[in-house]
């Protein structure tokens, strides 16, 4: 995976693809500083063709996915593309470490040790990406955003892109691509004592990033259950999401070892499902 938390778009190709549980999406921008959208397309996938998971095979019908990609990119002359993966393909955490080793092998071993303890299962052969975050100078510890994806899962996504005649240049999860687009606006809207909540609900997924004016402080990713038709299960999606947000805020409070939960002043969310009532739920809760 490629991590350019603040500036991935500066080196990103003009075209991007997303391969998710419900669709294959493609888009391209003008090759100028404005990065204006010039093309976009969404092609649905049947349930079961792609099953996002951090531990099991994701692409169950590679032939269908390749066909969708070929159809979507046939009119273009794309070669290099950025690939957005479903958020639940990775394990992500913000770690507080005494030090970050300089050697990659030592660094990856340390990351793997901490993530396996946190998620209570073996990661296997993984690709790691990390980003140093602002840390308190008083305790000398380093806060690090770490993501890990199993090599075989990453290779599945890269393989269908190559089979469609595309060369993966930048690979990351959808939530981080979205966050990078809006990070400047989000952080600049916060005062030192304020927090924001970034929420990505695309494609049967729940990803939350809690952040203050210095950047991310807590991240949680989970797949939401679906019914037999591939949609989100449960009649009251807003209530389900609110419960997940509440659990995440409490977890962030525990991780920060503070008596009061973070004061959420801003909410930024992205969803492909109607969320009637979420605004009211959030205003009453926070």
- Annotate 4-28 with b (16+ C-beta within 10 A) or e (fewer): bbeebeeebbbbbbbbbbbbbbbbb
**DSSP-assigned beta bridge partners for residue 200:** 207, 270
Q: Extract the residue ranges of the chain whose pLDDT is less than 70.
A: 1-12, 33-35, 136-139, 225-236, 258, 275-279, 281-283, 285-286
State pLDDT tens for residues 261-271.
777 888 888 88
User: pTM for the whole thing?
Assistant: 0.85
State pLDDT tens for residues 160-203.
999 999 999 889 999 998 888 888 888 888 888 788 999 998 88
């Amino acid at each position: 995976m490629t991590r350019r938390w603040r500036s991935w778009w500066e080196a990103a190709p003009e075209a991007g693809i997303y391969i998710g549980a419900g669709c294959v999406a493609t888009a391209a921008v003008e090759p100028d500083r404005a990065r204006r959208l010039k093309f976009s397309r969404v092609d649905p996938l049947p349930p079961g063709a792609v099953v996002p998971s951090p531990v099991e095979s994701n692409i169950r019908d590679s032939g269908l996915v390749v066909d969708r990609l070929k159809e979507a990119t046939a009119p273009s002359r794309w070669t290099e593309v950025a690939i957005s993966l479903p958020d639940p393909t990775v394990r992500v955490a913000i770690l507080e470490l005494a030090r970050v080793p300089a050697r990659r092998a030592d660094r990856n071993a340390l990351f793997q040790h901490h993530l396996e303890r946190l998620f209570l299962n073996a990661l296997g052969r993984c690709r790691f990406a990390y980003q140093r975050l602002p840390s308190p100078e008083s305790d000398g510890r380093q806060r690090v955003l770490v993501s890990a994806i199993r090599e075989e899962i990453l290779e599945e996504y890269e393989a269908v892109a190559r089979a469609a005649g595309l060369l993966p240049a930048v690979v990351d999860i959808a939530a981080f691509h979205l966050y990078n687009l809006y990070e400047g606006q989000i952080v600049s809207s916060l005062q030192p004592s304020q927090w924001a909540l970034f929420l990505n609900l695309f494609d049967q997924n729940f990803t939350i990033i809690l952040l203050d004016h210095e950047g991310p402080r807590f991240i949680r990713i989970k797949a939401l259950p679906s019914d037999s038709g591939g949609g989100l299960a449960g009649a009251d999606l807003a209530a389900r999401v609110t419960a997940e947000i509440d659990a995440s805020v409490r977890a962030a409070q525990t991780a920060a070892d503070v008596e009061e939960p973070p004061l959420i002043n801003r909410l930024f969310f992205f969803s492909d499902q109607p969320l009637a009532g979420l605004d009211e739920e959030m205003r009453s809760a926070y």
